[in-house]
Amino acid sequence: MKNIKFTNHNRSKIVTELEQTEYDLVVIGGGITGAGILLDASSRGMKVALVEKEDFASGTSSRSSKLIHGGLRYLKQFELSLVKEVGKERAIVHRLAPHLVIPEKMLLPLIKNGSYSEWMTSIGLKVYDILADVEEEDKRKMKNKEETLALEPLLPEDILKGSGYYAEYRTDDARLTLENIKTAIGYGGTPLNYTQVEEFIYNEGQVAGVKVIDKISGEAYSINSRFIINATGPWVDELREVNHSKEGKQLHLTKGVHLVFPREKLPLKQSVYFDIPDGRMMFAIPRGKVTYAGTTDTNYTLDKNEVRTTIEDADYLLNAINNMFPTVNLVRKDIISSWAGLRPLIHEEGKSPSELSRKDEIFISDSGLISMAGGKLTGYRKMAEKVVNKLQKKLERTTHIEYKEVFTHKIPLVGGPWKKYKQVKKYVKKLTQDLEQYGFEPYTAWYLTTTYGRQSEQIIAVFKTKSGDDKNENLILAELDFCIQNEMVVTPMDFFFRRTGMLYFDIESVTKYLEKILTVFGVSFNYSAEQINVFRETIEKEVIKHSSF
């Protein structure tokens, strides 16, 4: 697909390629796990396709805590190997995409009768630094009460004893997924969204391809492949059922909810990882114009395609935030957006949601279907490496071709490359200066860089051709043009929810510019008035669903 531009305008060409190619591997699932596998396998020289039944990152991979973190909570559960692995992976992913994986100092307040004592925190964070191979400038520091309040004045002075101060990394999970997919295209990978697997093709009892439906055109066709990996997250067991191989270990889904507030309503100066009265811990993280907080961890058995933030979820988080920051007095009407996602964990009898391991596992059926489940956002690259290593051994026995060893730890993601994070900061500064002449605040340069990286220049070039009076409207239309031409945007929901994150972090812009965006989609893809009305109604319902309690 190297010579086919990644746009829905070329959908029929991509479908033709999928139909006519004999693949080494078909990956089912366009979340971060599938995206990582696509990049790993295609960079080793394998012919790889990826199909996703909705949009890329439309499930768990756009609804996480948006942190590439080193696994401090696993230290408390004595999962030391997991801490070591995700800590090292965190550093690698930051190096590959420092515009997307951004250092974020985290404060862990020590309070009277809290989960962490000063001694345990000091020792724990020190062990964490060693296991996670933390760089010198990011190593933990213990702060006394006064120093802690200077970092975050909203903390409760009467019960505060001090804090641990350590490093995490913040990301945009959907963008990270998409940039892995786009990077894989450069190695010959062929991804396509809105392509649903209906059934498997078998040859002498072994999976040999998939029958799919293109949900945009309605066309049914087959994709032939030597091997198939099921990386569908919460839907892994459903595909195992289609394959008649759902036996042994199964998924245990838990729900995580996050709330978003205007920065002035929750004006944290600092990201905080803090105690909840029921003994759990949660995050509150400033991000641009907003602050978001989460997460819950509850069992989930309802519709996987319709995961909602309930009033009970919202009240639980509101109470937890107000408990740790007693002067903010947040109420439901202060919530401007929210999201709810599912964690596809491996079931363990007798364990609560918070006690379930986040380790990943690989299941291989008698018919050869490889399924990958569990795991964390932070560990996506390593998960891909593990499963492709297994696949490579099988493939080399079949094809007698020697493929490359893994080198995804050296592949910079699209949006770079960058030598160091300092370059990203310099880029933001330069972009800020460039955009000042148009009346933009520094936030705009920060947003563009942490969303698109160096691709921002393509967006600004289109912005400069716009003649409208509203600079913000001109910019969002330039963004849309870029996403339509380069990122396989099919619907306005793809753009508002996953390419830009506006539904979560700038929900006012969704409502304000909806009609302009719909007009562009109608012209660009020749959508009918009826289709545009469906898009409008869907987005209006989603805005209410995410923001009204």
What CATH number is given to the structural domain containing 443?
Answer: 1.10.8.870
Domain for residue 14, yes or no? yes
Domain for residue 75, yes or no? no
> What Å distances lie between residue 53 and 14, 30, 233, 271, 371, CA to CA?
15, 8, 12, 35, 17
Helix (H, G, I), strand (E, B) or coil at 476: helix
Looking at the predicted structure, is the pLDDT value of residue 123 above 90? no
Last residue of a domain, one of 328, 350, 372: 350
Q: 3-class secondary structure for 123-147? A: HHHHHHHHHCCCCHHHCCEEEEHHH
Q: How far apart are the first and last CA of the chain?
A: 45
Looking at the predicted structure, is the pLDDT value of residue 219 above 80? yes
**Is residue 367 located within the same domain as residue 396?**
yes
**Is residue 255 located within the same domain as residue 293?**
yes
Only one residue has tokens 């560990």, namely: 379
Q: pLDDT category, 510, cuts 50, 70, 90?
A: very high
Last residue of a domain, one of 302, 331, 350: 350
Last residue of a domain, one of 365, 383, 410: 410
**Is residue 292 located within the same domain as residue 220?**
no
**Is residue 190 located within the same domain as residue 240?**
yes
The Cα–Cα gap between 178 and 44 comes to 19
Q: What percent of the chain has pLDDT over 70?
A: 98
**Is residue 366 located within the same domain as residue 246?**
yes
Looking at the predicted structure, is the pLDDT value of residue 347 above 70? yes
Residue 27: which CATH number?
3.50.50.60
If you average pLDDT over residues 421-442, what whole number do you get?
A: 96
**Is residue 286 located within the same domain as residue 341?**
yes
If you average pLDDT over residues 260-276, what whole number do you get?
A: 96
Looking at the predicted structure, is the pLDDT value of residue 73 above 70? no
Q: Which domain holds residue 113?
A: 102-170+251-350
> What Å distances lie between residue 436 and 424, 468, 479, CA to CA?
18, 17, 18
Looking at the predicted structure, is the pLDDT value of residue 365 above 80? yes
Domain for residue 145, yes or no? yes
Residue 131: which CATH number?
3.30.9.10
Q: For 294-303, write each residue's pLDDT tens digit.
A: 999 999 999 9
Query: Domain count of the chain?
Result: 3
**Is residue 274 located within the same domain as residue 163?**
yes
Looking at residue 74, its pLDDT comes to: 67
**Is residue 367 located within the same domain as residue 465?**
no
Domain for residue 88, yes or no? no
Domain for residue 96, yes or no? no
**Is residue 345 located within the same domain as residue 362?**
no
Domain for residue 95, yes or no? no
Domain for residue 323, yes or no? yes
Name the residue with higher pLDDT: 90 or 452. Answer: 452
**Is residue 155 located within the same domain as residue 273?**
yes
**Is residue 158 located within the same domain as residue 20?**
no
Which residue in 330, 327, 348, 346 sits closest to 338, CA to CA?
Answer: 330
**Is residue 265 located within the same domain as residue 144?**
yes
Q: pLDDT category, 491, cuts 50, 70, 90?
A: very high
Q: At what angle do helices 80-96 and 380-399 cross, to 10 degrees?
A: 90
If you average pLDDT over residues 304-322, what whole number do you get?
A: 96
Q: What is the pTM of this model?
A: 0.96
Domain for residue 90, yes or no? no
Q: pLDDT category, 85, cuts 50, 70, 90?
A: confident
The Cα–Cα gap between 8 and 151 comes to 47
